[in-house]
Amino acid sequence: MASDSKQLTTDARDNAGPTGFPWPPRAARGLPRLRHTNFHTEWRTEMALLNSTAKRIVTAVALLLAFALPFLIGGDLLRTTILAAIAGIGAIALSLIAGVAGQLSLGHAAFLGLGAYSAAFITSNLELHFFVALPVAAAVAGLAGLLLAPMALRLRGLYLAVVTLAFVLVMQHVYRNATPITGGVGGTRIESPTIAGVSLTRGGELAGIDFPGPTLYYFLVLLLLLATIVGVKNLLRSRMGRDFAAVRDHDIAAGVVGVRVFAATTRAFVISSAIAGVAGALMGGLLRHTSYGQWGMMLSVDYLAMVILGGLGTVAGPVLGAVFVTFMPEVLDQIAPMVPFISEEVGQGLTPERTSRLLYGVLLATVMVFEPLGLYGIWLRIRIYFMTWPFSR
């Protein structure tokens, strides 16, 4: 699926002359040399994460904005932003397994749930710190991924999608019935993290600065999101990441050229589910409660929507998708009085949440038909248009 984009960015097309043949190069034809990110004279610049001035500027501005954000907004908006950032972490994990490694998993909700319940067990039952819970959540979810990975090797495509979906339903049954650990139908509590006695989610004064509400939690989530982005981007340009893509494109061919297919699939599953576990724990830490109803098939579909709408197999795309899917109900809630068909009664008719679900259902189908790379694909088109201007008309 991701191969469409590669075609658009090849040097050949950007460099193509009037005949469509890439030779002689534009410079030799006496045309102005374009300031261009696709030409690299060194391996090091080719592999750099931020390989163009524009990317460096955009990243710097985005980082500045991200760190300044909690001082600009507050209350519910900040809370939604945190949820979007957590969803971004989870969506990157799904993009890694479904987009890069090509194993369509509908089981993401189960891994998220495992993370949240691990956090609950560590913080409430064992009364340990939330920061202990994060690695444990990653380990527990990763272990579940390790157990599910052999399934993925034996089953392909549709069968895998169905089995991972079944995994979600079976895990929901476990959450509902393993009462001593999971609290059964009512769910269980998660203690949110504290630093030096200051709750990260409720706010307080730390080192002489007053952090209102969940500001500190926002920074924790932001740091983990950045770590995930950098980590996964780095993974993608490593040998392991190329192995994942090779297995996705054709597992038998990959095996023939020396990729260890079993190892690659298993690693992809473990890494993806471990990241999902962290996202689940963070989700639990913010909501301070977890119950089985949260971790159903619908959550898997939500994450799939984020990844598909954002751009399957990319890193920036799923984050955009997460922001989009998380904020849509809020935005619709705000504009509900102005739009006639959105119901303002609670739980009656077309509520904002349902409208948002309806909308991204439509988008899911249309994106698959018209723009398989989602928002990232649209961005790519715009970028390529300007990069190759005035030859792009």
Partner 1 sequence: MSTQVVLILSGLAVGSIYALIAIGFAIIFKASHTLNFAHLALMLIGGFLVYQSTQLWGFSFWTGLAIAAGINAVLASALYLLVAAPLVGRSMLAILIATLGANIVLETGVIANPAWATDVGREVGSPWGSLTVEVLGGRMFLSHLWVLGLSTAVILLLYVVLQRSRWGLLFRAIAEDQEAAAAQGINVKYILVAVWAVAGMLAAVAGAFVGTFPRLISPESVEFALRSIPAVVIGGFDSINGAIVGGALVGLAEVYAAGYAPDYLGNNFHLIVAFLLMFVVLMIRPRGLFGSPEIRRV
Binding of residue 372 to partner 1 (CB under 8 A) = yes
Site for partner 1 in 205-264 (CB under 8 A): 250, 252-253, 256
Q: Output 284 or 374, the one with its CB closest to partner 1.
A: 374
19 contacts: CB under 8 Å, gap ≥ 6:
none
Site for partner 1 in 333-362 (CB under 8 A): 343, 348-351, 354, 357-358, 360-362
Shortest distance (Å) from residue 9 CB to partner 1: 21
Among 29, 35, 56, 156, binds partner 1 (CB under 8 A): 156
Kindly report the backbone phi and psi dihedral angles of residue 260, in degrees, each rounded to the nearest multiple of 5, phi listed first. Answer: -85, 100
Kindly provide the b/e burial profile for residues 74-92, where b requires at least 16 CB atoms within 10 angstroms of the residue's own CB. eeeebbbbbbbbbbbbbbb
303 contacts: CB under 8 Å, gap ≥ 6:
87, 90, 91, 94, 108, 109, 112
Specify the DSSP element, H or E, that contains 189.
Answer: strand 188-189
51 DSSP 8-state letter: -
# of chain residues touching partner 1 (CB under 8 A): 48
Binding of residue 85 to partner 1 (CB under 8 A) = no
Sign of the alpha-carbon torsion through 58, 60, 66, 71 = negative
Site for partner 1 in 89-128 (CB under 8 A): 104
- Residue matched to tokens 């790519």: 380
Shortest distance (Å) from residue 92 CB to partner 1: 18
CB 339 within 8 A of CB 351: no
CA–CA separation, 146 vs 273, rounded Å? 9
Q: Output 330 or 353, the one with its CB closest to partner 1.
A: 353
CB 26 within 8 A of CB 17: yes
Site for partner 1 in 306-325 (CB under 8 A): 308
- Residue matched to tokens 């200051």: 198
Stretch that binds partner 1, among 201-209, 226-234, 296-304, 373-381 (CB under 8 A): 296-304
Site string for partner 1, 167-206 (x = CB under 8 A): --xx--xx-xxx----------------------------
Binding of residue 364 to partner 1 (CB under 8 A) = yes
State the residues that interact with partner 1 by CB under 8 A: 1, 104, 151, 154-159, 161-163, 165-166, 169-170, 173-174, 176-178, 250, 252-253, 256, 297, 301, 304-305, 308, 343, 348-351, 354, 357-358, 360-366, 368-369, 372
